């Protein structure tokens, strides 16, 4: 049973990013093509208040060695000192500073460099399944890899080998268990949880 929650009944809550239902993807120009890839290992948390987004925050850490563009030799090159240099810089980290409307502003640390970046996000709602709340977001930003010291470049007769701009798309699902900050939406769900032997302390603020 999945219930779409009324956000008016939810206060600021903490969610752990669910790797299984989340993706961090990127794309960059290479010659006349667009290379697409993703990072498959990451962790993080989201503090989200749908009634006042300014009280929300996010942080995440990416295992750079998990980069995957579906071509093994290219992935090995991206892990090398020419690009991410994973031996020296094994993680990419993001920590938000503030949330302004549908934008998250924070510090992105990559390749030994920390810069402020802005992500534009869409809140896709909160769902409830078997007593567990899941919050969903989509977010995107564009980075210049050279801003982070990733300067590898080649040229050919029609231009540059690899573009500088990298488009990043994030699909995030965060999960938490029921707590005092969540109010059951229906008597039916309350009875269902009671059958499972799960005690829920729900309150209205």
DSSP-derived secondary structure for 180-191:
TTB--S-HHHHH
How remote is the C-alpha of 51 from its chain's centroid?
21
- Quick one: pLDDT at residue 141? 98
Q: Which residues of the chain have pLDDT under 50?
A: 1-10, 177-205
Q: Where are the domains of the chain?
A: 13-176
What CATH class is the domain 13-176? mainly beta
Kind of pairing between the strands at 113-129 and 103-110:
antiparallel
Question: pLDDT tens-digit profile of 139-185?
Answer: 999 999 999 999 998 766 555 578 899 999 999 999 984 444 433 34
- Quick one: pLDDT at residue 157? 52
- Quick one: pLDDT at residue 11? 59
Rounded Cα distance, 155 and 121, in Å? 35
- Quick one: pLDDT at residue 199? 44
Q: Residue 172 has which token pair? A: 């995030």
* Strand-pair partners of 120: 103, 140
Does residue 166 contact residue 145 with C-beta atoms inside 8 Å? yes
């Amino acid at each position: 049973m999945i219930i779409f929650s009324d956000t008016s009944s939810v206060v600021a809550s903490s969610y752990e990013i669910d790797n299984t239902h989340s993706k961090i993807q990127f794309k960059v120009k290479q010659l006349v093509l667009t290379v697409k890839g993703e990072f498959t290992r990451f962790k993080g948390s989201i503090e989200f208040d749908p009634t006042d987004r300014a009280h929300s925050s996010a942080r995440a850490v990416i295992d750079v060695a998990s980069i995957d563009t579906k071509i093994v030799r290219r992935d090995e090159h991206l892990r090398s000192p020419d690009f991410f240099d994973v031996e020296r810089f094994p993680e990419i980290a993001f920590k938000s500073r503030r949330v302004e409307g549908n934008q998250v502003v924070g510090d992105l640390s990559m390749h030994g460099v920390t810069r402020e970046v802005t992500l534009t996000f869409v809140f896709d709602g909160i769902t409830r399944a078997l007593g567990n709340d899941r919050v969903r977001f989509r977010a995107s930003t564009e980075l210049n890899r050279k801003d982070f010291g990733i300067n590898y470049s080649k040229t050919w007769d029609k231009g540059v080998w690899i573009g500088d701009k990298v488009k990043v798309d994030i699909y995030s699902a965060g999960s938490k268990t029921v707590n005092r900050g969540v109010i059951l939406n229906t008597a039916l769900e309350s009875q269902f949880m009671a059958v499972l032997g799960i005690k829920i302390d729900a309150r209205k603020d």
